[in-house]
Amino acid sequence: MSVDVCSGNAAGRCSLEVGTIEKCSYPMEEIMPIVSELAWKYTGCDHSSVTYEKAQMLMEAVMYCIREDGRQEGNALVAKNVSAREAYEHGREIVKDKLMKLQTLYNELIPNFRDYGSMCLKDTVRKGIPAFLERYDFRYAPQETLRMLDYPILRAYGDLSGVSLVLNYLQDICLEQKFLQKMDNGYPGKILRKYHRDFEYLLENICEIVLQNMIGHIMLDKPLQETGFSQEELESLEEILADKTEEQIKAYLLRALERLTAKYYDNDDVMLEYLSGGLSDIVTRIKYNTENHCLEQLFVF
């Protein structure tokens, strides 16, 4: 079955509905000419009749660019009564600009990139991001993410997709690299090996594992270079944490994290915000292990 996007009607019984994709503030009479033009180019300037699936894809492409225009902070066009075509064309330029930024950021990251033995991180950065850059179709399918980002990140990205999602994702990978590379070269690897003997194959965020261990040092005012926790130190940690609720522990850890970023990362607020995304899971584990008297499973090095 094919759709003539000039009319929005299918050769059979089907019609193209933007409502199934997302709500749009522009009327269909403004949207459909853009989709029709995109379909005409997609078919090699031959005709505007495409399959229903392709018509949906092109409709989503137009909507994605319009949404990118609306997301742009400080965008002068947002404050004006712009047409759908203006919003689409400006959003398309934003998409192209983000794609260039993604490529540049990747090129800057890769020479000094370290995976610390994590196969998931290695494959995501060495294979997943290049695959996205190679296959991403910013003209006709900018909304597609081409899911190859298996390495878990410490924050959610809401409804982001396409290059917006991948650019945010890679920026967070860069933050993690900055966090880990500030340490002695062997420190993260030693923590990971103590955490799990087969950590190379874990689908876990390695930054969170390292941060969790560092928090033990911070709570005891123990220098990071003084590795390992004695039984006495673990008992002191348990005393500190024993009478605290999860909310109190999280507030305590946030203050510890603020001290960490202030001392070692020049009060980097962006890093503080990112690392804070891992605190909820860390708090849950700390609370459980405190109650079961097994903090040595968390603070390992």
| Final residue in a domain of this structure, among 51, 77, 103 | 77
pLDDT at 21: 41
Task: Give tens-digit pLDDT for 245-291.
Answer: 999 999 989 998 998 899 889 999 999 999 999 999 999 999 999 99
Examine the pLDDT at 47 and tell me if it is beyond 70.
no
Residue 11 maps to a domain: yes
Query: For residue 1, what pLDDT band results from cuts at 50, 70 and 90?
Result: very low
Task: Please give the DSSP secondary-structure letter assigned to residue 15.
Answer: B
Query: For residue 171, what pLDDT band results from cuts at 50, 70 and 90?
Result: very high
Residue 146 maps to a domain: no
CA distance 172 to 6: 42
Residue 145 maps to a domain: no
Residue 124 maps to a domain: no
Q: Is the dihedral of CA 37, 39, 40, 45 positive or negative?
A: positive
Question: What range does the domain containing 235 cover?
Answer: 182-301
pLDDT at 9: 45
Per-residue tokens: 212 = 């969790």
Task: Give tens-digit pLDDT for 96-133.
Answer: 999 999 999 999 999 999 999 999 999 999 999 999 99
Task: Give tens-digit pLDDT for 68-99.
Answer: 998 875 554 444 678 999 999 999 999 999 99
| Final residue in a domain of this structure, among 77, 102, 137 | 77
Examine the pLDDT at 8 and tell me if it is beyond 60.
no
Give me the percent of the chain exceeding a pLDDT of 90.
Answer: 70
Task: Give tens-digit pLDDT for 133-162.
Answer: 999 999 999 999 977 899 999 999 999 999
> Does 74 or 165 have the greater pLDDT score?
165
Biggest CA–CA distance in the chain, Å, is 78
pTM over 0.85: yes
Phi-psi region at 152: left, alpha or beta (left = phi > 0; alpha = psi -120 to 50):
beta
| Residue 94: HSE in the Cβ half-sphere, 13 Å Cα cutoff | 23
pLDDT at 153: 97
Residue 13 maps to a domain: yes
| Final residue in a domain of this structure, among 52, 77, 102 | 77
Mean pLDDT of all residues in the chain? 88
Examine the pLDDT at 56 and tell me if it is beyond 80.
yes
Residue 156 maps to a domain: no
Residue 19 maps to a domain: yes
pLDDT at 147: 76
Query: For residue 11, what pLDDT band results from cuts at 50, 70 and 90?
Result: very low
Domain count for the chain: 2
pLDDT at 129: 97
Examine the pLDDT at 164 and tell me if it is beyond 60.
yes
Residue 139 maps to a domain: no
Examine the pLDDT at 232 and tell me if it is beyond 70.
yes
**23 burial type by CB count under 10 A (0-12 exposed, 13-18 middle, 19+ buried):** exposed
CA distance 55 to 24: 17
